[in-house]
Amino acid sequence: MIGAIVSEDQDFHQTLDRMLGDGAGRFRFEARIGEPFTQISDTHLDALRAVDPDVIVVDLEADPQVGIKFAQYLMEAGLARAVVAAGPTDSPDLILQAMQAGVTEYLPKPLADTKVRESMDRVWRKTGKRTSQDPAEGDKGRTYCVFSAKGGSGSTTFAVNLAVELHRLTRKKTLLIDFDLELGETALLLGMEPKFSIADLIRNFHRVDAGLLASYIERDDSGIELLSAPIQPVDFESVDGERIAKILQFLKEHYEYIVIDAPKTLNTVTLSAFEGSDEVFILTTPDLPSIRNVSRCLPLLKGVEGHREEDWIKLVINRFSPRQLIPISEIEKTLGMKVYSTLRNDYQSTIDAINEGRPVVFDRNSIYGQDVRRLASEVTGVEVAPKKDGGLLGSLFSRKSSTS
Ligand SMILES: Nc1ncnc2c1ncn2[C@@H]1O[C@H](COP(=O)(O)OP(=O)(O)OP(=O)(O)O)[C@@H](O)[C@H]1O
Ligand SMILES: [Mg+2]
C-alpha cells in the first residue's frame, strides 16, 4: 500500500514510519507534505497525484477545522482511495466532523502502535490491495472508444479527460490510447513528450510481453498511462486491422479501463477500435455539418461486428449550450437516437488546459470538467461528492491571505 503524510509535525512523520515500516515493503510513504494547511499549493497536490497514494494520513492537530476541510477535499478530488485523520483523543465533535467529511479512519494522538496498525489493516481491507500486476483473470479492461465524425468536435479533449476522471473516481489502472496515427494530440494535452508510441507496439507486437509493453507506455502525473500517437505520421493503410484487434485484446489483460481516442477517418484502425470497444462515445457539436456527418457514420457504426445492443453507441453533444440553435429534441429526431449526455461549451478552460498541458478536469471551476466528471460517474457508478462553493483550496488561500 502506498501512503502519503500531511503533517507539520516531523515527529508524526517519524512515528508513522517507525510503526508501519515493517521492512517487508508492504507499506510505503511516498509523499510528504510538511507545510501548514494554509500553505499547501497546487505543486504539493501535483506531487500527491504523481504518487497516486492508496491512503493519505492527515494530521489535524495544528488546525483541526482547516484540516478537516483539507481531508474532505482530498476525498472529493479523488487524490486517495482513503484518508485517515489523526487528532486529539478528547474531542468527540472533531471525530464526528471528520467522519462526516468522509475520512475513512480517525487515529487518536499520541499515536499508539496497535491502533495505527489495526486502522491501516482496515483501510487495506476496505480499499483492496492495488498492485502493478495485471487485473485478475476474467476481469478484462472495459474499453471506451471516443469518436467524432467531424474535425475539431472535441473528441481528443474528451478522451483525455474521461480517462483521467475514470482513474480518479475508481483508482483503477487506466490506459489512454491515441489511435490517431496521423496527427494524434493526446500527449500534448497531457503535457507529455513520450519517447515511444503505438507505432512501436504495432511494429513489435510479435515479441511483446509485459516488460516491453511497459517501455512503450508512459505514466502521466494524473495517474493514467498513455500509449501515444507517433510523432511522425504513420500510413494507416499499412496497418493490419487484425493486429490492432490482437493488440487491444492484449492490452485489456493489463488494464481495467481503456479509453481510445479514435481518428476521424473510418479506416481499418478505427473499425478495429470500434470492434474491440465495449462502448463508443460519438461526439458531435450542435451544428448541422457535424450532425450530418454523424448520421452518415451511424449505419457503419451500427453494423460493427460483435455488438448487438443498441446502447453500446452513446451520443454525446459537445459544446452544448441551453440556447443552442438546434435543440436536443431536434438532434435526437434527426439521428433517431437519444442523447446520452451533454458537455457544456467552455472555451476558456479547455484552451487554458491545452496551453498548460493539464487536463481540464483538474480545474474545479470548469463547467466542462464538471460535465465530464458527471458522465464518468454515471459510467462507473461511483458517486461524485457535490462541489463546495469556491472549493477548498480557494477557502484555504483566502484564509491565508486574511491572516498574512
Ligand atoms: N466543450 C467545449 N467547449 C469549448 N471548447 C471546446 C470544448 N471541447 C473542446 N473544445 C475545443 O475545441 C478544440 C478542438 O478540440 P479537440 O482537439 O479535442 O477536438 P478533436 O475532435 O480531437 O479534433 P481533431 O479533428 O483535431 O482530432 C480545442 O481547441 C478544444 O479546446
Ligand atoms: Mg483529435
Tell me if 370 CB under 6 Å of ligand 1. no
The CA–CA distances, whole Å, from 212 to 51, 78, 209, 234 equal 23, 30, 5, 21
Supply the DSSP symbol for 177: E
Do 67 and 85 contact (CB within 8 A), yes or no?
Answer: yes
Instruction: Average the pLDDT over 27-51 and give the result.
Output: 90
Per-residue pLDDT band for 134 (boundaries 50, 70, 90) equals very low
Find the helix or strand (DSSP H, E) in which 187 lies.
helix 186-190
Given a cut of 60, is residue 130 above it in pLDDT? no
Most distant CA pair in the chain, distance: 70
Tell me if 156 CB under 6 Å of ligand 1. yes
Residue in this structure with the C-alpha cell 453533444, named with its chain if needed: 317
Radius of gyration in angstroms for the set of CA atoms belonging to the chain, rounded to a whole number: 23
pLDDT value at position 127? 67
Pocket test of ligand 1: the residue of 148, 150, 156, 343 to mutate, having most ligand atoms within 8 Å of its CB, is 156
Q: Look at domain 142-380 and name its CATH class.
A: alpha beta
User: What is 254-289 written as a DSSP string?
Assistant: H-SEEEEE--SS--HHHHHHHHT-SEEEEEE-SSHH
Q: If you average pLDDT over each of 25-29, 77-81, 248-252, which comes out highest?
A: 248-252
The atom of ligand 1 lying closest to the CA of 320 is 1
pLDDT value at position 307? 67
Separation of CA 151 and ligand 1 centre (Å): 8
pTM for this prediction: 0.69
Tell me if 225 CB under 6 Å of ligand 1. no
Given a cut of 50, is residue 20 above it in pLDDT? yes
Do 230 and 201 contact (CB within 8 A), yes or no?
Answer: no
195, three cell numbers: 519517447
Q: Where are the alpha helices (DSSP H) in 255-382?
A: 268-275, 288-302, 328-335, 347-356, 367-380
Q: Whose CA is nearest to atom 16 of ligand 1?
A: 154
The atom of ligand 1 lying closest to the CA of 345 is 3
- What percent of the chain clears pLDDT 70, i.e. is strictly above it? 90
Tell me if 148 CB under 6 Å of ligand 1. yes
Beta bridge partners of residue 344, listed in sequence order: 320
Phi-psi region of 327 (alpha: psi -120 to 50; beta: other; left: phi over 0): beta
pLDDT value at position 22? 59
Tell me if 393 CB under 6 Å of ligand 1. no
- What percent of the chain clears pLDDT 90, i.e. is strictly above it? 52
307, three cell numbers: 455488438
Do 177 and 145 contact (CB within 8 A), yes or no?
Answer: no
Do 42 and 16 contact (CB within 8 A), yes or no?
Answer: no
Tell me if 155 CB under 6 Å of ligand 1. yes
pLDDT value at position 132? 35
The CA–CA distances, whole Å, from 396 to 88, 120, 344, 360, 404 equal 22, 28, 28, 21, 12
Establish whether the linkage from the previous residue to 88 is cis, with ω within 30° of 0.
no
pLDDT value at position 179? 92
Given a cut of 60, is residue 73 above it in pLDDT? yes
Tell me if 366 CB under 6 Å of ligand 1. no
Do 308 and 278 contact (CB within 8 A), yes or no?
Answer: no
- Residue of 219, 154, 159 whose CA lies nearest to 192: 219
The shares of helix, strand and coil residues in the chain, as percent rounded to the nearest 5, are 45, 15, 35
Q: Per-residue pLDDT tens for 135-194?
A: 444 457 899 999 999 999 999 999 999 999 999 888 889 999 999 887 788 998 998 888
Among 7-11, 129-133, 206-210, 374-378, the minimum mean pLDDT is found in 129-133
Per-residue pLDDT band for 342 (boundaries 50, 70, 90) equals very high
Among 27-41, 201-215, 315-329, 347-361, the minimum mean pLDDT is found in 201-215
Tell me if 286 CB under 6 Å of ligand 1. no
Supply the DSSP symbol for 387: P
Give yes or no on whether 2-130 and 142-380 have one common fold. Answer: yes
The structural domains of the chain, with segments of one domain joined by +, span 2-130, 142-380
Among 32-41, 210-219, 274-283, 391-400, the minimum mean pLDDT is found in 391-400
Residue that wins the pLDDT comparison between 26 and 116:
116
Tell me if 345 CB under 6 Å of ligand 1. yes
Per-residue pLDDT band for 52 (boundaries 50, 70, 90) equals confident
Q: Whose CA is nearest to atom 25 of ligand 1?
A: 151
Q: How many CA atoms lie within 13 A of 235 on its CB side?
A: 2
pLDDT value at position 140? 78
Q: Per-residue pLDDT tens for 247-291?
A: 999 999 889 999 999 999 888 889 999 999 999 999 999 999 999
Contacts of 311 (CB under 8 A, 6+ apart): none
The atom of ligand 1 lying closest to the CA of 153 is 21
Per-residue pLDDT band for 308 (boundaries 50, 70, 90) equals low
Q: Per-residue pLDDT tens for 381-390?
A: 887 765 544 4
Directed axis angle between helix 367-380 and helix 347-356, to 10°?
80
Span 2-130 CATH architecture: 3-Layer(aba) Sandwich (3.40)
Q: Whose CA is nearest to atom 9 of ligand 1?
A: 154
pLDDT value at position 324? 85
Q: Distance (Å, rounded) from C-alpha 221 to C-alpha 192?
A: 10
Tell me if 337 CB under 6 Å of ligand 1. no
Q: What is the mean pLDDT of the chain?
A: 86
Per-residue pLDDT band for 309 (boundaries 50, 70, 90) equals confident
Q: Whose CA is nearest to atom 4 of ligand 1?
A: 347
Tell me if 38 CB under 6 Å of ligand 1. no
The atom of ligand 1 lying closest to the CA of 151 is 25
